[in-house]
Structure 1
Amino acid sequence: MNLFFEESGDFKAGVVLSQQGEAYQVELQSGKRSKVKSKDVLLQFTSPTPQQLLEEAQQIAQAIELDFLWEVAGQEEFGFAELGAEYFGHAPLPAEAAGLLLSLHTAPIYFYKKGKGRYKAAPEASLKAAQAGIEKKKQQALVQAEYVAQLKAGQLPEAMKPLALQLLFKPDKNSIEYKALEAACNELQTSPQRLMLTVGGIASPKQLHLSKFLLEFFPKGSGFPKIVIPAVADLPLAPVQAFSIDDVTTTEIDDALSVQTLADGKVRVGIHIAAPGLGIKRGDALDAIARQRMSTVYMPGDKITMLPDELVEAFTLAEGKNCPALSLYATLDPVDWSVVSTETKAELVPISANLRHNTLDELVTEDNLANDAGEYPHKADIALLWKWIQVLEQGRMAKRESFGLRPEQNNRVDFNFYVEDEVVTIARRKRGAPLDKIVAELMIFANSSWGKLMSDHGVPGIYRAQGGGSGGWAAKMQVRMVTHAAPHQGLGVDQYAWSTSPLRRYTDLVNQWQILACVEGGVAAPLVAPFKPRDADLFAIVSGFDAAYSGYGDFQSNMERYWCLRWLGQEQAQHGTRQVEAAVLKDEILRLAEIPLIIKLPGMQQLARGTQVKLDILRWDEVELTVEARLLEVSAAPSAEAEQLEREDEEEISEELDAAMDMPHETVDAPSEDAAGDAAAEPGSAIEEIKPLTE
């Protein structure tokens, strides 16, 4: 006797060797023996052989017309043998019964299984819906195959053109477009980004990086809605002639300076900050725009401003205009340059000049200042400010050392990025030039003074604090944002509130509102300030700003790295060489001498930090932003600058190294970085590009 039975969802046939109770010992065609329970037996037969039965059943199943079988089945539940008699017109033979069962089993949209060998025909509506779904999948499979063929041929299907960014960064993995892209990438052994670049879905690696950032942070686009420029109340005109100092590409001019010699011989220095806070009010449409963006986004050759251009134009401290400003005046005794008093007021400030680094840096040097050499605008004012800021710096260093920190190092090199017609120029610039120092020290002075003003009036603000935390040394020295006055040990000040860049940082705009409340409200400031003590919304702003600023910083670093790689390509095209000089930062991490490009050289011999080496750049990838190189020779021992770095604490290693190691970073030894960010913060230079994002 032979049996046709179901086992693990599959149909099998075999010869019965023995029977014991409700179980059979069955031998299959392969020779394998199985124990089959009687409840799993569907047919008992003597002929044909089990193998012949299975072969004939397969042929019969393929010949059965499912639509006709579905009509014959009716709407009641049935057993396969019962349906067989109806379908074949006679009691089905073993092979016919088995073939019918195979057909029922493999057509789940026509027949629903109700038990062992029992089925029920699907309702007509359900069947039609299922058939439509199957047809749709067939058509989609054909379309998908066509998409794959086009992609492999280097063509982007029309339907995928508007979806290019979504497919790369936020794909619907169930869509046929994504499945086609994935299949094509698998067949071509490439990544979606590279394939999309090949077929023209993304114009260039630069556009790839920019598009990814915009999709995440500006999903609705980076443009602005139409706005109405707010009116500013009548303000007194300041009796000064102020001037700004910025990079040549700066358009958001936040700060300017002025100097007056008073009748009693004392000196009055004005620090004038653009005052959009006089026009923008908390909760209005312009505030919503600024708060949504939180900051201007910088990248070499471009930027995405926090505020619309026409609003920036209305409040930027442009040459030849009387500009609304929040001014901090410091009255100084020139005998020892001590601060006699300070005063804050809102006023119109005449801007006599917008001075630029590219025209003045070579003239305003320490030697020229010491010898009264050279001719340039506001020479006497700059010379006087130079004397005062050296006293300010000494005071900060003393305070910094009182916190247990070493004096800051100003002998490192910054890099300026300039991009024109997709050609990048990267220029070295030593940190701590006189003009940098003047602006840096005065912005630190203003941010510290205004932080104290808010604290003294009981008005909360957004402060940058460093030191005094818990955990290890690095954790204690991490820069954090708080809503109360607290020391910034790295800068050497008792409190530090970002207040000097309200055109490009939302935190500064918020603080400007609070400072204005102190000026206008006096002792009633806590009652009239836009943000009251313990205002939960202020904490939300701090959290939102941190998240946005971190994301913007990562993007900025990636774009700088991209342009460094483009620079390598330019150099190779112009000079035909890939050999470059570099310096060891730590272990296997190096930085190129001519550009701020960090690379890792796995397996490199142990060399002291600052050791000069020559590298052969083997290849670089503008998509992945990676570089491969090999060490050619060790050129020179560490420089004096490197030896100084070696003596610093390990935690005080440069921000570039932290970035290369994929570590979050905040520098603790460069207050001029923060101030330089306040002073410039425009695309085109490392001061502008990197420093606004660090302390």
Structure 2
Amino acid sequence: MNLFFDESGEFKAGVAMSQQGEAYQVELPSGKRTKVRARDVLLQFSAPEPVGFMAEAQAIADDIDANFLWEVAGQDEFGFADLGNEYFGHEPKPHEAAGLVLKLHSAPMYFYRKGKGRYKAAPEESLKAALAGMEKKRQQALVQAQYVEELKAHRLPDAMRPLVQQLLFKPDKNSIEYKALDAACSEMQIAPQRLMLAVGGISSAKELHFSKFLFESFPKGIGFPNVQLPALPELPVADVQAFSIDDVTTTEIDDAMSVTRLPDGKVRIGIHIAAPALGIKRDDALDAIARQRMSTVYMPGDKITMLPDELVDVFTLAEGDARPAVSLYATLDTSDWSVVSTETRAERVPIAANLRHNDLDMLVTEENLATNAGEYPHKEDIALLWQWVQMLEKGRMAKREAFGLRPEQTNRVDFNFYVEDDVVTILRRKRGAPLDKIVAELAIFANSSWGKLLHDHGVPGIYRAQGASGNGWAAKMQVRMLTHAAPHQGLGVDQYVWGTSPLRRYTDLVNQWQILACVEHGVTAPLAAPFKPRDADLFAIVSAFDAAYGAYASFQSDMERYWCLRWLAQEKGDAEAMRVEATVLKDEIVRLADIPLVIKLPGMPQVARGAQVRLDLLRWDEVDLTVEARLLDVTQNAGAEPALDEEDMSEDLQEGDAEPVPAEPAAETAPADHPASE
């Protein structure tokens, strides 16, 4: 006896070898034996043999029209044998009955299963909807196949053009566009971003990196809404002639300085910071713009400003005008360079000059300052500031050592990027050059002094703190953002706020509001300040700033790496490989000498930090930002640039300095990864 049975929704036929109670021992055509319950048996037959039976049943099923069968079935529940009598016009033979079962089971849109061998025809409306859905899927499959063929032919389908970024960065995996892209990539063995580059969806690797960042951080675009420029209060005009020191590309000039020689022989140093807080008020439309962005975004050759250009133009410390500023004045006794007193004022500051590193770096050197050589604007003021900032740095280093840290390294090299018409120039600058140090030390002095001012008045602010927290060296050296004063051991100061870049960092704008409250209201400042002690919104700002700043830092790092690879392509020419010098930073990590490109050399022999190595750069990828290099030899050069020690690793390679990336580009202020940068 042969059986036709249902095994977990699959219909099979076999020879019944034996029966025990309600179960059969059945041998399948493959020779395998299986146990079949009696309730799963639909038909018993003697001929033909199972293989031929199933072939005949399938032929019957293929010949049955589902639409006609549905019309014959009616709307009542039925057994397949009953329907067989109606459909065939006679009691169905075993293979006909089996073919009917196969057809019913293979048409779930037409027939709902109600039990073993029992079915019910789908309602007409449900069937129409299901058939329409099936037809839609069929059409979509045709469209998808067409998309795949176009992509394989390196043509971007028109329907995919407005979806390129979404397909790459946040795809809807159920869409036919994504399925087509995924299928084409699988067939071509290529990554989606590379295929989009090949078909013209993305014009270049640079656009790929930039588009990804904008998609994630600026989903509504980088344009500004129309803004109404604020009315400024009446302010006294300072009796100074201030000047700034920045890179030639700087447009957001946050800080300037002045030197006034007093009749009693003392000197008054002015540190003047642009004052957007005098025009922007908490929770107004301009504040909403700044708070949404949190910071200016920097990349080689471009930037996305925190504030609209027309607003920056109102507050930037441009030469030839008296600009609103918050000024910190320090009166010095030049006999020992001690600070006699400090005072903070809101005023208009005449800006006599915007000096540029590009014009002065070769003139204002330590050697020229020591011998009074060279001629340049504000020469005497710069010479005096140079003397004071050396004392400031010496005091910070003493306190840093008192915290248990080694002195900062000042003989390292920083790099400036300049991009024009997609051609990049990367210039080396020695860290701690006089102009850098003047700007950096004045900023640290101002931020530390204003941090103390807020603390003394009981007004919260956004502080940067480092050290004495957590377990282990890395945890202790991690920079934290707090709303109360705490030491920044890496800088060697008792407290440190960000307050000297309010045109390009939202934290500095917030702190400037708080500083102005202290200046205007004195002991009642805690009641008048925009942010009160333990203000939950201040904690929210800290959290949001950390997230945004981290994303901006990662993007800036990626773009600097991209432009380093572009520089390699420019310099390599037609050579098969490019030979370069590099310095070992740690273990298998090396940094090129001529550009700030850090790469990993797996399997490199253990060598001391600071050792110089020679490499052949074989290949690099501007999409993945990877470099393939070959080690040629290692030279223990005593004159090599020192590698990072543990403190520098925590500061430069994590976020352990006063101004981690993304800072204003190194050329615009001080080196971006330098603890003293601002």
Q: Structures share a fold, TM > 0.5? A: yes
Number of the residue aligned with 1:666: 655
Counterparts in 2 of 1:359 and 1:447: CA distance versus 1, 3 Å: same
Deviations along 1:368-424, whole A, 9 cap, x unmatched? 111111111111111111111111111111111111111111111000101000000
Number of the residue aligned with 2:148: 148
Decide whether the 8 Å contact of 2:296 with 2:505 is kept in 1. Answer: yes
Rounded to whole Å, the distance in 2 between the matches of 1:451 and 1:602 is: 45
1:652 aligns with 2:641: no
Decide whether the 8 Å contact of 2:437 with 2:670 is kept in 1. Answer: no
1:274 aligns with 2:263: no
Counting only pairs closer than 5 Å after superposition, residues 206-285 of structure 1 correspond to structure 2 as 206-285=206-285
Rounded to whole Å, the distance in 2 between the matches of 1:77 and 1:555 is: 64
Number of the residue aligned with 2:108: 108
Decide whether the 8 Å contact of 2:579 with 2:616 is kept in 1. Answer: yes
Number of the residue aligned with 2:68: 68
Q: Displacement of 1:94 after TM fit?
A: 1.0
Decide whether the 8 Å contact of 1:582 with 1:615 is kept in 2. Answer: yes
Q: Which letter maps to 1:666? A: E
Counterparts in 2 of 1:351 and 1:499: CA distance versus 1, 3 Å: same
Give the superposed CA RMSD: 1.8
Number of the residue aligned with 1:479: 479
Decide whether the 8 Å contact of 2:246 with 2:667 is kept in 1. Answer: no
1:399 aligns with 2:395: no
Rounded to whole Å, the distance in 1 between the matches of 2:388 and 2:585 is: 35
Rounded to whole Å, the distance in 2 between the matches of 1:388 and 1:651 is: 26
After alignment, is 341-350 or 685-694 more displaced?
685-694
Counterparts in 2 of 1:369 and 1:32: CA distance versus 1, 3 Å: closer
Q: Displacement of 1:691 after TM fit?
A: 5.4
Rounded to whole Å, the distance in 2 between the matches of 1:694 and 1:543 is: 22
1:527 aligns with 2:513: no
Counterparts in 2 of 1:571 and 1:226: CA distance versus 1, 3 Å: same
Rounded to whole Å, the distance in 1 between the matches of 2:30 and 2:577 is: 69
Tell me, what secondary structure is at the counterpart of 1:370? helix
Rounded to whole Å, the distance in 1 between the matches of 2:240 and 2:135 is: 80
Decide whether the 8 Å contact of 1:414 with 1:687 is kept in 2. Answer: no
Tell me, what secondary structure is at the counterpart of 1:239? coil
Counting only pairs closer than 5 Å after superposition, residues 163-202 of structure 1 correspond to structure 2 as 163-202=163-202
Number of the residue aligned with 1:304: 304
Decide whether the 8 Å contact of 2:448 with 2:494 is kept in 1. Answer: yes
Rounded to whole Å, the distance in 2 between the matches of 1:50 and 1:339 is: 104
Deviations along 1:613-647, whole A, 9 cap, x unmatched? 211111000000000010122345243642xx57x
Counting only pairs closer than 5 Å after superposition, residues 286-301 of structure 1 correspond to structure 2 as 286-301=286-301
Number of the residue aligned with 1:662: none
Tell me, what secondary structure is at the counterpart of 2:573? helix
**Structure 1 unaligned blocks of 5 or more:** 659-664
Rounded to whole Å, the distance in 2 between the matches of 1:314 and 1:153 is: 53
Counterparts in 2 of 1:316 and 1:677: CA distance versus 1, 3 Å: farther
Q: Which letter maps to 1:517? A: A
Rounded to whole Å, the distance in 2 between the matches of 1:329 and 1:311 is: 26
Counting only pairs closer than 5 Å after superposition, residues 419-438 of structure 1 correspond to structure 2 as 419-438=419-438
Counterparts in 2 of 1:373 and 1:497: CA distance versus 1, 3 Å: same
Decide whether the 8 Å contact of 2:297 with 2:662 is kept in 1. Answer: no
Rounded to whole Å, the distance in 2 between the matches of 1:474 and 1:79 is: 74
Decide whether the 8 Å contact of 2:457 with 2:526 is kept in 1. Answer: yes
Rounded to whole Å, the distance in 2 between the matches of 1:218 and 1:155 is: 28
Decide whether the 8 Å contact of 1:251 with 1:682 is kept in 2. Answer: no
Deviations along 1:286-320, whole A, 9 cap, x unmatched? 10110111000000000000001110111000010
Deviations along 1:214-254, whole A, 9 cap, x unmatched? 11100000111110110101100111110000011100000
1:449 aligns with 2:449: yes
Rounded to whole Å, the distance in 2 between the matches of 1:691 and 1:552 is: 18
Tell me, what secondary structure is at the counterpart of 2:558? helix
Decide whether the 8 Å contact of 1:556 with 1:690 is kept in 2. Answer: no
Tell me, what secondary structure is at the counterpart of 2:655? coil
Counterparts in 2 of 1:11 and 1:575: CA distance versus 1, 3 Å: closer
Decide whether the 8 Å contact of 2:254 with 2:502 is kept in 1. Answer: yes
Say how many residue pairs are matched: 678
Counting only pairs closer than 5 Å after superposition, residues 321-340 of structure 1 correspond to structure 2 as 321-340=321-340
Number of the residue aligned with 1:506: 506
Q: Displacement of 1:677 after TM fit?
A: 8.5
Decide whether the 8 Å contact of 1:599 with 1:627 is kept in 2. Answer: yes
Number of the residue aligned with 2:96: 96
Q: Displacement of 1:49 after TM fit?
A: 2.8
After alignment, is 20-29 or 416-425 more displaced?
20-29
Identity of aligned residues (%): 74
Decide whether the 8 Å contact of 1:677 with 1:687 is kept in 2. Answer: no
Rounded to whole Å, the distance in 2 between the matches of 1:45 and 1:693 is: 92
Rounded to whole Å, the distance in 1 between the matches of 2:32 and 2:636 is: 76
Rounded to whole Å, the distance in 2 between the matches of 1:224 and 1:691 is: 32
Number of the residue aligned with 2:564: 564
After alignment, is 566-575 or 475-484 more displaced?
566-575
Q: Displacement of 1:365 after TM fit?
A: 1.0
Decide whether the 8 Å contact of 1:414 with 1:686 is kept in 2. Answer: no
Tell me, what secondary structure is at the counterpart of 1:335? coil
Decide whether the 8 Å contact of 2:397 with 2:408 is kept in 1. Answer: yes
Q: Displacement of 1:54 after TM fit?
A: 1.1
Q: Displacement of 1:366 after TM fit?
A: 1.2
Q: Which letter maps to 2:30? A: S
Rounded to whole Å, the distance in 2 between the matches of 1:562 and 1:396 is: 36
Counterparts in 2 of 1:509 and 1:686: CA distance versus 1, 3 Å: closer
Decide whether the 8 Å contact of 1:301 with 1:684 is kept in 2. Answer: no
Rounded to whole Å, the distance in 2 between the matches of 1:101 and 1:576 is: 69
Decide whether the 8 Å contact of 2:439 with 2:669 is kept in 1. Answer: no
Decide whether the 8 Å contact of 1:415 with 1:686 is kept in 2. Answer: no
Deviations along 1:44-85, whole A, 9 cap, x unmatched? 222333222211111110000110100110111000000000
Rounded to whole Å, the distance in 2 between the matches of 1:193 and 1:635 is: 40
Rounded to whole Å, the distance in 2 between the matches of 1:25 and 1:394 is: 94
Counterparts in 2 of 1:431 and 1:67: CA distance versus 1, 3 Å: same
After alignment, is 49-58 or 589-598 more displaced?
49-58
Q: Displacement of 1:427 after TM fit?
A: 0.6
After alignment, is 360-369 or 577-586 more displaced?
577-586
Number of the residue aligned with 1:547: 547
Deviations along 1:189-233, whole A, 9 cap, x unmatched? 110010000001101001101111111100000111110110101
Deviations along 1:7-51, whole A, 9 cap, x unmatched? 122111222333332222333323333332211111122233322
**Structure 2 unaligned blocks of 5 or more:** none
Decide whether the 8 Å contact of 1:337 with 1:388 is kept in 2. Answer: yes
Q: Displacement of 1:332 after TM fit?
A: 0.9
Counterparts in 2 of 1:537 and 1:349: CA distance versus 1, 3 Å: same
Q: Displacement of 1:692 after TM fit?
A: 9.5
Decide whether the 8 Å contact of 2:613 with 2:635 is kept in 1. Answer: yes
Decide whether the 8 Å contact of 1:114 with 1:120 is kept in 2. Answer: yes
Q: Displacement of 1:588 after TM fit?
A: 1.2
Counterparts in 2 of 1:238 and 1:298: CA distance versus 1, 3 Å: same
Rounded to whole Å, the distance in 2 between the matches of 1:574 and 1:48 is: 76
Q: Displacement of 1:487 after TM fit?
A: 0.8
Q: Which letter maps to 1:629? A: A
Rounded to whole Å, the distance in 2 between the matches of 1:582 and 1:688 is: 20
Q: Which letter maps to 1:10? A: E
Rounded to whole Å, the distance in 2 between the matches of 1:387 and 1:419 is: 35
Tell me, what secondary structure is at the counterpart of 2:140? helix
Counterparts in 2 of 1:417 and 1:640: CA distance versus 1, 3 Å: closer
Tell me, what secondary structure is at the counterpart of 1:291? helix
Decide whether the 8 Å contact of 2:241 with 2:352 is kept in 1. Answer: yes
Rounded to whole Å, the distance in 1 between the matches of 2:648 and 2:322 is: 43
Decide whether the 8 Å contact of 1:415 with 1:685 is kept in 2. Answer: no
Q: Which letter maps to 1:88? A: F
Counterparts in 2 of 1:687 and 1:569: CA distance versus 1, 3 Å: farther
1:317 aligns with 2:317: yes
Q: Which letter maps to 2:436? A: D
Deviations along 1:629-671, whole A, 9 cap, x unmatched? 10122345243642xx57x4x3533766x3xxxxxx0235xx6
Instruction: After the TM superposition, list the runs of 4 or more consecutive aligned residues in structure 1 that deviate by more than 6 angstroms.
Output: 692-695
